[in-house]
Amino acid sequence: MTPFLQCLAFCAFIVPVITLGPMLSFTGNPETIIEHIEPLTLTCSFKVSDNKVYEDIGLEARFLYILHETKRTIASISKGQPVAKVQYPGSTKVQGQIYDSKDLKESFLQVTWKNPKLSESGKYFCLAHASNSTGQDVVIDASITINVSRSTMEDLASAVSRLRDRADQNEERETQNRKRIMRLEEDFNVRVANLSLLLNMQFETATEIEESTVTPEPLNAPCKPGFKKVKDGPLFACLWTSTFPLPHDGAREDCKAQGAHLLTLKTYEQLKLLVNNNPAKPIWIGLNDQETEGAFVWEDDDSVCDYSCRQMIFVKGEPNNANNEDCVEYSPEKHGLNDVLCSDTKYVICEQPF
């Protein structure tokens, strides 16, 4: 006699064995599966019946077992044991819990094979060893037959197709997550830039109050040798223009060597002043986002050109950071600013500071 049948015979002599469908359920998902492809999960759950005949019995589960007709015990759990005991190495995952009847929860024992084999086919038994309020022991059983079928080439092809679909979905989610992170980074950069602008404005306001008694430079202030004065109403600037193009870093250093800086256009009026003097060639502007992408900083005082500033002086659709463009030019064809590669060569206009 097999040990499993010996166990059933022993239990039958010691305690009554009863079958109560509402009290003990045993399910497999599904009952027919394909080997190595579909997982097999067996769940044995115990719940006190609502039947009036048993309402005063007060049954409580003490042990739960899942057995195979030839492989004997697969897994078991006893009350107070937090993790089910695995007694069959072929099972990949076992979990369960036995609750008190007052908890109003189903006690359960669950076994899962990730890649079941043909040998997992057969009849399985779920046994619940319970006791009532008078101390009498009761064994309740249920069974289920599982059929593991051999996988075909069509089954394997279908499984591969599902895996590819899942990989495509994961890749799409990853792409969306990367885009979301980029949007968050851009929003963060804009917020930092706006905060920096606000701090600069507060500092400038404090400086203006402190220097309110200082007389501003008159309209006829002299320009340095080699610098030309351009005017438009009350606005004027002293500018030096190169005769050959340079990359951005060379242009900036050239202006510094003359005690000046690359031309800045912080207001619409300053942009208008440049447009009215009609430069015929593209020129470098003292504005870049080389340190932080999206945060454009004026090179003369490190102040930030915020969203409203960019809307005012850049041409429509710019800046767009195409090919990692971090420097800024004035385009005479478009009458506005455009971000370009810092390695490009443009003509230079240096502005004398006052």
Give the pLDDT mean for 225-242: 86
> Which residues lie closer than 8 Å to 142 by C-beta, 6 or more apart?
19, 21, 24, 25, 26, 44, 125, 126
**Bigger pLDDT: 198 or 138?**
138
pLDDT band of residue 165 (cuts 50, 70, 90) is confident
Continuous segment of H or E residues that includes residue 32: strand 32-34
- Over residues 100-109, the pLDDT tens digits come to 877 778 899 9
Domain ranges of the chain: 24-152, 228-352
Max Cα–Cα distance, the chain, nearest Å: 118
Cα(311)–Cα(271) distance, integer angstroms: 13
- Rg, the chain, Cα only: 41
CATH topology of domain 24-152: Immunoglobulin-like (2.60.40)
Nearest residue to 287 via CA among 264, 307, 306, 310:
264
pLDDT band of residue 215 (cuts 50, 70, 90) is very low
Cα(181)–Cα(91) distance, integer angstroms: 40
pLDDT band of residue 21 (cuts 50, 70, 90) is very low
Nearest residue to 302 via CA among 336, 271, 264, 341:
264
| Phi and psi, residue 42, nearest 5° | -115, 130
Distances (CA, A) of 8 to 3, 11, 14, 103, 201: 9, 5, 10, 30, 87
Kindly report the CATH number that applies to the domain delimited by 228-352.
3.10.100.10
Tell me, what's the pLDDT at 8? 40
> Which residues lie closer than 8 Å to 271 by C-beta, 6 or more apart?
265, 312, 313, 336
- Over residues 32-69, the pLDDT tens digits come to 778 878 889 999 999 865 544 444 456 788 899 999 99
Give the pLDDT mean for 118-130: 90
End-to-end CA, the chain? 107
Cα(336)–Cα(283) distance, integer angstroms: 11
pTM of the complete model beyond 0.75: no
